[in-house]
C-alpha cells in the first residue's frame, strides 16, 4: 500500500492517511465518544524513581494505551505527560463508538493490572463521555497544524478523568445511554465539575469489583 501512496495513519495504523484528509485547517461538529486516561499520583511516582525509570514506565503506559485504542478503532489524539486520549469518531469507529470506548477503558485497566491481586503496575483513572465537539485540523497552513477535538464536552471528559480514582472509569450518563449499557450494579454519582454550572451524572466502574459492564 505504501507503493500506492497509501501510508498508515499516524493516529491509528489500521487506517490509511488518505482516510484522514487532514491536510488543511477545518473540520466539523460531530457527536463522538472521548476517552481520557490519566496516571494517578504521577508526581509521587516520579519522586520514587530515576527520570529514566519513570520515562520507561510512562512509555509502557503509552504502548498499552495505544494498543487498546488502535484495536478499538479510536484515533489516538494525545500521548502527553501522564495522559492518553482517544477519539471514537463515528466515521472511523462506527455507530457503536460509545460501547467501543467503554470496552477500551475496561481493557486498559485490565492491562495495567487493576484486576491483579498484587495491584496495578501503574495506577490509572479514566473518563469516558459522549457528546458533540468540533473535530478537525486547527492551526494555519503557514504554521504547525494539529488534528484534535475541541469544545465543552472535551473539557467534561478531561475533568471526569481527573476525578477518577485508581482503577476507576467514570462513564457519563450520555455515554451509558448511547452505549445501551445496563449499569444496574454500578455506583451512580452526581458530580460537580470545575467550570460547570450543573452537576454531571456518572456511573462508576471499579476494576477490582466488576468483571465487566
**CATH code for position 69:** 3.30.70.1230
Question: What pLDDT band is residue 1 in, cutting at 50, 70 and 90?
Answer: very low
Mean pLDDT in residue range 25-40: 93
Indicate if the pLDDT at residue 95 is higher than 70. Answer: yes
Structure confidence at residue 209 (pLDDT) = 83
Residue 41 falls inside a structural domain: yes
Would 3 be classed as within a structural domain? no
Q: For the residues of 35-100, what is the DSSP string, one character each?
A: EEEEETTHHHHHHTS-HHHHHHHHHHHHHHHHHHHHHTT-EEEEEETTEEEEEE-HHHH-TTHHHH
Q: pLDDT by residue (tens digit) across 170-202? A: 999 999 999 999 888 899 999 999 888 899 999
Residue 73 has pLDDT above 80, yes or no: yes
Averaged pLDDT, 70-98: 95
127 within domain boundaries:
yes
pLDDT computed for residue 23 by the predictor = 53
Question: Per the domain annotation, does 161 fall within a domain?
Answer: yes
Q: What is the mean pLDDT of residues 67-88?
A: 95
Residue 21 domain flag: no
Q: Which residue has the higher pLDDT, 212 or 93?
A: 93
Structural domain total, the chain: 1
State percent of the chain over pLDDT 70. Answer: 85
Q: What's the rounded mean pLDDT across residues 138-162?
A: 84
Q: Examine the pLDDT at 19 and tell me if it is beyond 90.
A: no
Residue 144 has pLDDT above 70, yes or no: no
Task: Estimate to the nearest angstrom the gap between the alpha carbon of 194 and the chain centroid.
Answer: 19
Average the pLDDT over each of 44-53, 162-171, 188-197 and give the range with the smallest value. 188-197
Within-domain flag for 12: no
Grid coordinates representing 100 are: 467501543
Q: What is the pLDDT of residue 61?
A: 98
16: in domain: no
6 inside domain: no
| Domain that residue 98 falls in | 26-206
Paired residues of 146 in beta bridges: 138
How far is the C-alpha of 100 from the C-alpha of 160, rounded, in Å?
A: 18
Amino acid at each position: 500500500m505504501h507503493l500506492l501512496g497509501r501510508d498508515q495513519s499516524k493516529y491509528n495504523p489500521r487506517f490509511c492517511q488518505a482516510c484522514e484528509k487532514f491536510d488543511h485547517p477545518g473540520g466539523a461538529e460531530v457527536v463522538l465518544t472521548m476517552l481520557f486516561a490519566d496516571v494517578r499520583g504521577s508526581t509521587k511516582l516520579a519522586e520514587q524513581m530515576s527520570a529514566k525509570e519513570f520515562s520507561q514506565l510512562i512509555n509502557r503506559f503509552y504502548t498499552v494505551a495505544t494498543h487498546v485504542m488502535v484495536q478499538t478503532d479510536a484515533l489516538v489524539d494525545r500521548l502527553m505527560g501522564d495522559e492518553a486520549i482517544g477519539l471514537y469518531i463515528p466515521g472511523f469507529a462506527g455507530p457503536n463508538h460509545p460501547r467501543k470506548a467503554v470496552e477500551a477503558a475496561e481493557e486498559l485497566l485490565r492491562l495495567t493490572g487493576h484486576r491483579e491481586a498484587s495491584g496495578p503496575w501503574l495506577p490509572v483513572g479514566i473518563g469516558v463521555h459522549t457528546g458533540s465537539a468540533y473535530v478537525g485540523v486547527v492551526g494555519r497552513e503557514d504554521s504547525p497544524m494539529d488534528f484534535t477535538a475541541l469544545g465543552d464536552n472535551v473539557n467534561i471528559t478531561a475533568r471526569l478523568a481527573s476525578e477518577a480514582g485508581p482503577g476507576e472509569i467514570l462513564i457519563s450518563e450520555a455515554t451509558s445511554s448511547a452505549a445501551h449499557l445496563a449499569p444496574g450494579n454500578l455506583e451512580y454519582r452526581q458530580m460537580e465539575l470545575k467550570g460547570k454550572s450543573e452537576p454531571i451524572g456518572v456511573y462508576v466502574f471499579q476494576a477490582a469489583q466488576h468483571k465487566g459492564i
